[in-house]
Amino acid sequence: MKAMSSKMTAVENLYSQAISRHRRVVGGVFVGIGYILSPASWWNDAVVNIPIAYLIGWLVSRIAEPLFLPIMLLAYWGTNVLGIVMMHVGATYLLRKELTKKHWNLRRTLTVTAIYSIIMLALAIFGLIPKPF
């Protein structure tokens, strides 16, 4: 009986290590992609967000030409918000030992995203975020 218990503990340890490794990889990928999309990186607009927003605006303008600019602006804003949300979700994956539905919900994620956005906007308005050029 003791040998069986020891084998189960070893299997549980292997499973726990695999889950932990998986969460680190997934969380790291989310944080990395989120950082690239988010306003936290000064270069993301010129290299990533504006080209993505332009492409989305262009695709929609093939259907309805007057929608190019509004859709491009919405897509630009959306890529920035998506980046912040991805960083938040990735950090949650990395920092929580156990992840349950209780730990992640859409309302909390959107609230944190809105708070991050307001803080970044305030920092930019008061000149506390240096401009890259």
For the stretch 80-114, pLDDT in tens is: 889 988 998 888 888 876 655 555 566 776 777 67
Q: From the centroid of its chain, how far is CA 49?
A: 14
Q: Classify residue 23: in a domain, yes or no.
A: no
Q: Classify residue 90: in a domain, yes or no.
A: yes
pTM for the model stands at 0.67
Q: Total structural domains in the chain?
A: 1
Higher pLDDT, 30 or 124: 30
Q: Classify residue 54: in a domain, yes or no.
A: yes
Would you state the pLDDT for residue 133? Answer: 38
Q: Classify residue 86: in a domain, yes or no.
A: yes
Expressed as residue numbers, the domain containing 70 is: 43-133
Q: Classify residue 112: in a domain, yes or no.
A: yes
Q: Classify residue 93: in a domain, yes or no.
A: yes
Would you state the pLDDT for residue 32? Answer: 94
Q: Classify residue 31: in a domain, yes or no.
A: no
Q: Classify residue 36: in a domain, yes or no.
A: no
The 10 Å Cβ neighbour count of residue 65 is: 8
Please give the single-letter amino acid code of residue 108.
R
Rounded to whole angstroms, the Cα distance separating 82 from 86 reads 6
Q: What is the mean pLDDT of the chain?
A: 78
